[in-house]
Structure 1
């Protein structure tokens, strides 16, 4: 018998195992290996180039073949990426590892939220999705914080051991994912009509977005704000040591950044009546202020700027997820979420190398 509590609990557990690792501070790890900020920025660009190519197709596959299957594929891609990084002895292999991690991100993005929303909707509890989205961001930020808290330990142990530990967590995640129940509210696809269904999913998704301009604007606004926050937090991993922060304090500073996201994801639950446009304007101003504080050169103020940016970004993300899920039809839910991730990747491809050179120059 289907249990929504077990389903949601397993999705939470999978998220924990998928996020927590000793390699969370990957920018700091690459910097410690001697790679420049420009190279790190280009590696991030590789991530988003791969994402652009595979993001939407992975969402379509999730809608046609099942969200549980694509979550399992995502986990396998992450394991492959970690193994490649363990054996990486040059920049080319580092970029290859980043590409596999991008594929992992592609197959996971949209699938988990789509499965959760349809699971809740199937038992008449879709109103609980906003809390689910908030909890997932809390899990993400907390696990990222714990992972980056171990930044000093990762640098001492070395990247080989750090990424090997991630493989172990991914294997545990595979076990949890295998216990999920596939829930799909649309019509089931016949095996003889798979390619027709794939083309139909593409066509209807883009037709929906052509008509739903509000959804497109929300996607773009959230992607732009999220990109600014992500880049700030990424480069703070490398910039804080340059600003003189003690190595033992780096992990705690990065944990403090993630705590901002946790508080933002919780705070927005108490602002249900606030208009999305107002949230967007406030979040944008706060993140721009955070970027200015990052250039103060004082690691305490820089950390405060990162905290503020994470708070604003996650508050906006929860509101964004809830609004879009209510707009999306079940048959194209994962595809449409993937289109949002596609938009994010396009923005990141433009901003990542520019930000890498900018942060290195300033």
Structure 2
């Protein structure tokens, strides 16, 4: 008998292990190693180039071979990336590690959400997904907050030990992922076995084509993806570069972690607040969150540490509020058999925006 609470709990645990890390403030770690903001911007661009390349294929693979299997692949790539970072001695090696982290992100970005939604749908509880999505964002922000809170300790012990600890934690995560149950649903919402087709590549092509056909008809889904990705990209860039900019205000390493932790807590507040605003129309949610994220960017340029932290807090709060509302709407629109592929297409949109934004932001933040 399928136990939905156990399945969801394991997904939460995997998320905690996947986001708890001594290397959460990776921008600060690279800055401490002597890399400039422009070089960090290049590394971030490499991340999104690889993310752009692998995002949609990873979603298709998840829909074809199974979401659980792709979550395991994601963790394996994270281990490889951490080992590459330990061995890195120049920007090229750092970018190689960043590329592995990008692929790791790709294989997990749609797989976990798709598995959770179909698990809930299997027992007729898909209405609970919005709360699940909010809880996942809360866990993400909380774990990232704890990770960035350890920024000073990570700088103290050194990047090699920090990334070695990531390898250990990720191995534990793999054990949790292997205990998950794979769920596959057909058009009627019933459980189905892995279909045996004459050609695996034929199924990959069919899944991708059907996803594009869906998006061609569902213009509202495309619009929601673009809106959410734009706001999210601005917030992520701001939070990343604040890791390097805050120490320039004279903030000591011991206080940097606390400041970054406060910003991540803004995301938790946003994920909770949006659950209390179910009757607020999406256009108003988008308008308010967009304005607040842009205000966070403007506040960053004051050069005052307290105000910069406040700006990051407000931006994270707005970004996660929009993310939860957008995810809930899109999941209701997506057909189950292409769910991971379509979620990956949203991440694909995010990566396109980030490729243009990251190097530009690196230059702007370094001179302004």
TM-score grouping bracket, smaller chain normalisation: over 0.9
Aligned-pair distance for 1:270?
0.3
Which consecutive unaligned segments of at least 5 residues does structure 2 have?
187-191
* 1:296-330: CA deviation from partner (whole Å, max 9, x where unpaired): 01000000000000000000000010000000000
Contact between 1:88 and 1:94, CA under 8 Å: does it hold in 2?
yes
Give the secondary structure class of the aligned counterpart of 1:124.
coil
The residue number in structure 2 matching 1:219 is: 225
CA distance in 2, matches of 1:119, 1:89: 44
CA distance in 1, matches of 2:33, 2:287: 39
The residue number in structure 1 matching 2:189 is: none
The residue number in structure 1 matching 2:244 is: 238
CA distance in 2, matches of 1:243, 1:234: 16
CA distance in 2, matches of 1:75, 1:248: 30
TM-score, structure 1 as length reference? 0.99
CA distance in 2, matches of 1:95, 1:195: 30
Contact between 1:77 and 1:104, CA under 8 Å: does it hold in 2?
yes
RMSD of Structure 2 on Structure 1 (CA): 0.7
The residue number in structure 2 matching 1:87 is: 87
Contact between 2:83 and 2:164, CA under 8 Å: does it hold in 1?
yes
CA distance in 1, matches of 2:80, 2:319: 30
Contact between 1:189 and 1:197, CA under 8 Å: does it hold in 2?
no
Contact between 2:197 and 2:203, CA under 8 Å: does it hold in 1?
no
Contact between 1:55 and 1:341, CA under 8 Å: does it hold in 2?
yes
The residue number in structure 2 matching 1:125 is: 125
Number of residue pairs matched? 362
Q: Does 1:317 align with 2:323?
A: yes
The residue number in structure 2 matching 1:149 is: 149
Contact between 1:7 and 1:180, CA under 8 Å: does it hold in 2?
yes
Aligned-pair distance for 1:246?
2.1
Contact between 1:144 and 1:258, CA under 8 Å: does it hold in 2?
yes
Contact between 1:72 and 1:174, CA under 8 Å: does it hold in 2?
yes
Q: Does 1:29 align with 2:35?
A: no
Contact between 1:16 and 1:139, CA under 8 Å: does it hold in 2?
yes
The residue number in structure 1 matching 2:12 is: 12
The residue number in structure 1 matching 2:71 is: 71
Aligned-pair distance for 1:191?
4.4
The residue number in structure 2 matching 1:185 is: 185
CA distance in 2, matches of 1:109, 1:130: 16
Over 4 Å off, 4+ runs = none
* 1:221-252: CA deviation from partner (whole Å, max 9, x where unpaired): 00000000000000000000001112211110
Contact between 1:241 and 1:247, CA under 8 Å: does it hold in 2?
yes
Aligned-pair distance for 1:89?
1.1
Give the secondary structure class of the aligned counterpart of 2:199.
helix
The residue number in structure 1 matching 2:340 is: 334
What pairs with 1:135-214 in structure 2 (closer than 5 Å)?
135-186=135-186, 188-214=194-220
CA distance in 2, matches of 1:357, 1:67: 38
* 1:97-144: CA deviation from partner (whole Å, max 9, x where unpaired): 000000000100100000000000000000000000000000000000
The residue number in structure 2 matching 1:285 is: 291
Contact between 1:227 and 1:348, CA under 8 Å: does it hold in 2?
yes
Give the secondary structure class of the aligned counterpart of 1:185.
coil
* 1:235-289: CA deviation from partner (whole Å, max 9, x where unpaired): 0000000011122111100000000000000110000011111000000000010
CA distance in 2, matches of 1:50, 1:248: 33
Q: Does 1:268 align with 2:271?
A: no
* 1:7-65: CA deviation from partner (whole Å, max 9, x where unpaired): 00000000000000100000000000000000000100000000111100000000001
Give the secondary structure class of the aligned counterpart of 1:192.
coil
Give the secondary structure class of the aligned counterpart of 2:198.
helix
Aligned-pair distance for 1:168?
0.6
Aligned-pair distance for 1:196?
1.6
CA distance in 1, matches of 2:81, 2:199: 33
* 1:139-164: CA deviation from partner (whole Å, max 9, x where unpaired): 00000000000000000000000000
Which consecutive unaligned segments of at least 5 residues does structure 1 have?
none
The residue number in structure 2 matching 1:305 is: 311
CA distance in 1, matches of 2:358, 2:131: 31
